[in-house]
């Protein structure tokens, strides 16, 4: 068994990218507010490595507000084609402005404009209003690069636990649990299915 959960994740993620037909980087993100009320939604993995798992969002969205109040979260990758899941739990931190700027610059222009036009997670009177705000942003940034809005950034989940789940016949699944240790190593164990 591997004692490096990041090497195992890299292996599984590469297989998912090769074989999963839809969005292998899609992951469920579970957050909770300051009193523990949970919320979950799908986001896209935009970076990963031994320092954590990175995704981007409007920092004033529901998830952004919840992560500011309670910086603990969980991720779940479900690759149905491979019959695998990876569960990750840990603490989150905001990525640096430089990292957020670099990623924002790689997004399509319409996605960049949408980040300016959207008050993500807030009530919207009509689709027409959003389309009007988008058109205003097209005019505002006509002929120039679109900078990252100050309310848009990224989060890095620093894992404390990583569980790899592999489907097996007759529900005799394989579950491998990695727990972060104080010396930056990982302890590995098996869980009953």
CATH of the domain at 94: 2.30.110.10
Q: Which residues are catalytic?
A: 171
Asked if the structure places residue 95 within a domain, the reply is yes
Q: Compute the distance between CA of residue 136 and CA of residue 134 in angstroms, rounded to an integer.
A: 5
Residue with tokens 């302890």: 187
Asked whether residue 145 is assigned to any structural domain, the reply reads: no
How deeply is 175 buried, as exposed, middle or buried, from its count of CB atoms within 10 A (0-12, 13-18, 19+)? middle
Which residues 6+ apart lie within 8 Å of 44 measured at CB?
23, 25, 26, 27, 55
**Does 125 map to a domain?**
no
Alpha carbons 55 and 47: distance in angstroms, whole number: 7
Q: How many domains does the chain have?
A: 1
169 assigned to some structural domain: yes
Q: Which domain holds residue 184?
A: 5-104+150-191
In a domain, 14, yes or no: yes
Residues in contact with 136: Cβ distance below 8 Å, sequence separation at least 6, in sequence order: 117
Task: Decide: pTM greater than 0.85.
Answer: yes
pLDDT, one tens digit for every residue, the chain (193 residues): 567 999 999 999 999 999 999 999 999 999 999 999 999 999 999 999 999 999 999 999 999 999 999 999 999 999 999 999 999 999 999 999 999 999 999 999 999 999 999 988 888 899 999 999 999 999 999 999 999 999 999 999 999 999 999 999 898 899 999 999 999 899 999 999 9
Residue 169 per-residue DSSP state = G
176 beta partners: 164, 190
127 within some domain? no
139 part of a folded domain:
no
In a domain, 19, yes or no: yes
């Amino acid at each position: 068994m591997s004692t490096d959960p990041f090497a195992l994740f890299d292996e599984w993620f590469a297989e998912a990218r090769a074989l999963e037909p839809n969005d292998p980087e899609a992951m469920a993100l579970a957050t909770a507010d300051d009193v523990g009320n949970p919320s979950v939604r799908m986001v896209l993995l935009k970076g990963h490595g031994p320092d954590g798992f990175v995704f981007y969002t409007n920092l004033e969205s529901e998830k952004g507000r919840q992560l500011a109040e309670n910086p603990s979260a969980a991720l779940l990758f479900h690759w149905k084609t491979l019959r695998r899941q990876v569960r990750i739990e840990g603490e989150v931190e905001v990525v640096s402005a430089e990292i957020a700027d670099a990623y924002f610059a790689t997004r399509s222009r319409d996605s960049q404009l949408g980040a300016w036009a959207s008050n993500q997670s807030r009530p919207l009177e009509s689709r027409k209003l959003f389309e009007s705000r988008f058109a205003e942003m097209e005019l505002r940034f006509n002929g120039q690069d679109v900078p990252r809005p100050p309310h848009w950034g990224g989060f890095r989940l620093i894992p404390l636990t990583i569980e790899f789940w592999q489907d097996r016949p007759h529900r005799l699944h394989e579950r491998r649990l990695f727990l972060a240790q104080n010396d930056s190593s990982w302890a590995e164990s098996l869980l009953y299915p």
